[in-house]
Amino acid sequence: MREIVHMVHTSLDGCVEGPDGEFDWPAMGPELSAYSRELSTRCGEFAYGRKVWDMMSAYWPDAESISDDPHDLAFAPVWRRTPKVVFSRTLEKADWNTRVVGGDLNEAVASLKAEPGDDLLLMGGAELAAELTARGLIDEYQVFVHPVVLGGGKRPFAEGAARLGLTLAQSRVFDDQVVLLRYRRA
């Protein structure tokens, strides 16, 4: 049975984006970049909500012509070749080896988890992650805490969500600045 692994970058004050939607702050040093690629290749499919999909699909197909950052140059081909799934009620189709899943979220996730293959890697976002968390559908959380305080913005877990017990599976520091907190559902 496949699992859903939620990988999310947060600021020290727990935000996934700044007050004006900015996402220019994650520090992707060489160690974190290598770990990110390792995690990406360990998982068989990337998963996104609609908003993160729009951001990712606008950047990664042409990343080499936009950026000279070593992380971006190494990850772009991985992104293009990896199958992807987008959870959306409004999107009808998507390019880049991507399927769109709508309808009942519990049924969709159960079907995806029952498929053969490696785990699903849910990247970033807030709304889909919060909804999946509320329904107990995420198996593992990999939270990367970056050395920045954004002073407000979107958070990866919904306010007022029910308490969720987790078990620490790993903690690690990358590039002497980013802390990974890896948790599994208790």
Q: What is the pLDDT of residues 85-114, one digit of tens each?
A: 999 999 999 999 999 999 999 999 999 999
pLDDT digits (tens, 9 = 90+) for 7-62: 999 999 999 999 998 989 998 999 999 999 999 999 999 999 999 999 999 999 99
Residue corresponding to tokens 């290598």: 34
More confident residue, 157 or 8: 8
What pLDDT band is residue 153 in, cutting at 50, 70 and 90? confident
Residue 58: C-alpha distances to residues 25, 124, 131, 148 (Å): 18, 15, 24, 25
What pLDDT was estimated at residue 96? 93
CB distance 176 to 134 below 8 Å: no
What pLDDT band is residue 161 in, cutting at 50, 70 and 90? confident
Q: How many separate helices (H) and strands (E) can be counted in the chain? A: 6, 8
pLDDT over threshold 90, residue 63: yes
Q: Residues 145-162: what's their mean pLDDT? A: 86
| Burial of 142 per CB tally in 10 Å (0-12, 13-18, 19+) | buried
The amino acid present at 184, given as its one-letter code, is R
Element (H, E) at 73: helix 70-81
What is the dotted CATH code of the domain comprising 4-20+29-121+130-155?
3.40.430.10
Which residues are CB-contacts of 168 (< 8 A; sequence separation ≥ 6)?
Answer: 181, 182, 183
What pLDDT was estimated at residue 140? 97
Weakest-pLDDT range from 112-116, 157-161, 165-169: 157-161
What pLDDT band is residue 162 in, cutting at 50, 70 and 90? confident
Q: What percent of the chain has pLDDT over 90?
A: 87
What pLDDT was estimated at residue 125? 79
Angle formed at CA 129 by CA 15 and CA 157, multiple of 5 degrees: 45
pTM of the model: 0.94
pLDDT over threshold 80, residue 160: no
The amino acid present at 76, given as its one-letter code, is A
